[in-house]
Each structure stands twice: as structure tokens, then as C-alpha cells.
Structure 1
Amino acid sequence: MIVVRAEPGNLARLIKFRTDTAAWLRPRGIDQWSLSFPPEQMAASIARGEVYLFKEHAAADAAATVTLDREADDLLWTPEEQLDDALYVHKLTVDRAHAGAGLGARILDWAGNRAAQAGARWLRLDAWTTNPQLQAYYLSQGFRHVRTVDDPEVGGSGWVAQRPARAEPGWPDVDLTEGHNGR
């Protein structure tokens, strides 16, 4: 796998990740991502260089995506917690064709490695409150549940967790090297 920063031309693919995942979750009784996400917000994240695509090779379609930033949601993280240096995982999505191969875990390790390299203490995320399978997955990846925020303003994603940012020798087990976006 290679990792490349998303570019404006990838916006349609990023939206498709979200709609495909919502369609897969819906018959399972999970309403995660059922509301559309403003494309202009996603475009702004792309412009800031916070959105990454994971690909088999440079010419391949993206197998997964993640947004990694320093944006703590004031509704989810306390002012004291926001004083801690942290990177936040958002919109981690693996294409169904690549599901079950451990790619999500490798992306979380990649994000934790980037957080450690940036001097952050924590890798943090939030998950859909009505998706216990996703919550269990994050717990199995070493995250510790901090709290569940029951506030309509959080839009359903009020389960918050964190794990220490860590750079590990020999990381990762699969070569996830920064790509050059075909330039």
C-alpha cells in the first residue's frame, strides 16, 4: 500500500466512500452516515492536506481513506482534554472490496505513528453511538472509551475514545509509504 494526500479531484471518490458505507450499514440497522456530509467541508479538509488515500499502487483506485487533523470537537472533548496535544481520526473508511484484510488496523497504526512523529500525546476518534460493532473494533485496536456524549448536536457520533500516540520500531508490517500523487 501507498499513502497519498487527497486532491480536489478525489472529492467524488471520498463522497462515494461515505455513501457506499452508509448503504452497507443501513440493512444492518445502523444509520451511521445516513445524512449527507457537506462536500465543501470535505474539500476544505483536502485543501488543508488532512485527507489521505490508501492505494495498492499509484494508479489504483483508493482502497481506504482517513482524515487526520488536530480538530477537537468542542461538544466531544473537554477544554482540559483539548489542552493535550492530539491528532484526531475522522472518516476512516475501507472499501468493502478490501474489508477484512486488516487495512483499518494498519491505517490506525499509521495515524498513531504520524501523531507520535508530530509530538502528539494521543490519537483520538469518535464513533457512532449506535454502532457497537465499530466501538468494539476500536477497543480491540487499543483505544480506551472516554465517554459517550448524548447530545443531538453531535449528530450521532458521540462515542469518544483515545489511545497513546506511538511510533513503533519496524512499523508498519505493510509498506504504507507516502506517495507523490503522481507528480
Structure 2
Amino acid sequence: MQVQNSQSCDIDTIFEFYDLAIAHQKKVFNKHWQGFSLELVSQEVSENRQYKILVDGVVACVFAVTFNDKLIWGNRDRDSIYIHRIVTHPNFRGYAFVKEIIKWAKGYASKHAIKYIRMDTWADNEKLLHYYTSCGFNYVGLVTLTETEGLPKHYEGISLSLFEIEL
């Protein structure tokens, strides 16, 4: 298993994964992502903030990171790596990629003086809330977004549960 930066040649694969995730979200939950812009994903790739996990050379999971998330985290937005849009290909479910991403993020954080690994999800997604805490995240609160300009469309009018690992 390897975590690598995604390259521009991976963009079609990333969007295929997003489409698979949206279809899955529609089956198992009452909310789903509203899609993402090519500009956003291209920028993440060019800034080395879009990643892939390879299993035997095959892309099995994708995720993105950012280092500021003020609209979601407010005055706590500091010294953090924020993990977003984790998508596992259906053929690789059960590989515990969130735990692998946490290991990777801990290594990244130690090299870059980062104190927190953070994530968010819909406040009413009980299954994910339990899963993230079982992976080592601490639940640190709820936020209702009032300003969403610059965030993907699915953030409009929602409440989020916030999670972090303090390093």
C-alpha cells in the first residue's frame, strides 16, 4: 500500500471515484455531494494536496488535504492538516484506508510542525461519526455554516460534526 501525490493524469480517475461516492451516498444516506469543479481538483493536484492510495499499483482510494479551513473551523483554524473527500473504490472497501491516511498524516505532520489532523462530516451521519471516532479521532463539536462561499455546494445550509487528532 502506497500513498502518493495525484498527478494531472489522475484527474479523470479522481472524478470517477467522486461519481462512485455520490452514487453510494445516495443509496445509504439522505445527503450527497453535489459534484466538484475541475478547477478545484486541478488546483489541488498542482499544489500537491490531492492524494491517491495504491494497492498493488491500482488506485484504491483518493483524498484531498488543505492547511486552512477557516469557514468550517473558525478561530481554531491553525497548525492543522484537514482531510477531505476520502473515497474508496468499491473493490477495496474494508481496507481501513482512513487509518492508513491517519498514519500518513501523522508522518506528514511531524515533518511540517503540524499539531492537528482534522476532518468534518455531516452532523447527522451517525455511521461516519462512529467510524471516525473508532479510527482515533476525537469529536470536538458541531458547527452550522453561515458562510460557504468558496466551499463545494454540498456545504450550503448544513451542520457539520468536527473531528481532530491532537499530535
Q: TM-score range by the shorter chain?
A: 0.7 to 0.9
8 Å contact kept, 1:68–1:111: no
| Candidates 112, 115, 119, aligned match of 1:118 | 112
Alignment of 1:94-109 (within 5 A): 94-109=88-103
* Superposed displacement of residue 69, structure 1: 2.5
Out of 162, 165, 173, the position equivalent to 2:164 is: 162
**Superposed counterparts of 1:118-137, under 5 Å:** 118-137=112-131
Structure 2, unpaired ranges of 5+: 149-154
Contact 2:29 2:125 in 1 (8 A): no
Counterpart selection for 1:90 from 72, 75, 84: 84
Q: Offset at 1:68?
A: 2.2
Structure with the higher fraction of residues in helix conformation = 2
Following TM superposition, where does structure 1 have runs of at least 4 consecutive aligned residues deviating by more than 6 angstroms? Answer: none
CA distance in 2, matches of 1:31, 1:49: 29
User: After superposition, what is the alpha-carbon deviation per residue over 1:107-155, rounded to whole angstroms, capped at 9, x for unaligned?
Assistant: 2221122112211110011112232211111111121122222236333
User: Structure 1 vs Structure 2: percent identity of aligned residues?
Assistant: 20
CA distance in 1: counterparts of 2:123 and 2:71, whole angstroms: 14
Question: How does the TM-score come out when normalised to structure 1?
Answer: 0.79
Q: Distance in 2 between matches of 1:100 and 1:27?
A: 18
Letter in 1 for 2:103: D
Q: How far apart are the structure 2 equivalents of 1:7 and 1:129?
A: 32
Shift of 1:157: 6.5
Identify the range of structure 1 (145-154 vs 23-32) with the bigger mean alpha-carbon deviation. Answer: 145-154
- 8 A Cα contact 1:123 1:164, kept in partner: yes
Query: CA RMSD, aligned part only?
Result: 1.7
Higher strand content, 1 or 2: 2
1:46 aligned partner: 45
Q: Which residue of 2 aligns with 1:173?
A: none
The alignment partner of 1:67 has SS state of strand
1:7 Cα offset (Å): 0.9
Q: Distance in 2 between matches of 1:101 and 1:22?
A: 20
CA contact (8 A) 1:32 1:128 kept: no
Partner of 1:19: 19
Counterpart-to-counterpart distance in 2, 1:108 and 1:162 = 11
In the alignment of these two chains, the number of paired residues is 159
User: Structure 1: which 5+ residue stretches go unaligned?
Assistant: 166-183
* SS across alignment from 1:148: strand
State the distance in 1 between where 2:18 and 2:109 align: 24
How far apart in 2 are the matches of 1:6 and 1:146? 30
Cα 1:125/1:68, change in 2 over 3 Å: same
Task: Measure the CA separation in 2 of the matches of 1:2 and 1:151.
Answer: 35
Alpha-carbon distance in structure 1 between the residues aligned to 2:51 and 2:45: 8
Where does residue 9 of structure 2 map in the other structure? Answer: 9
TM-score by length of 2: 0.86
Structure-2 separation of matches of 1:92 and 1:63:
11
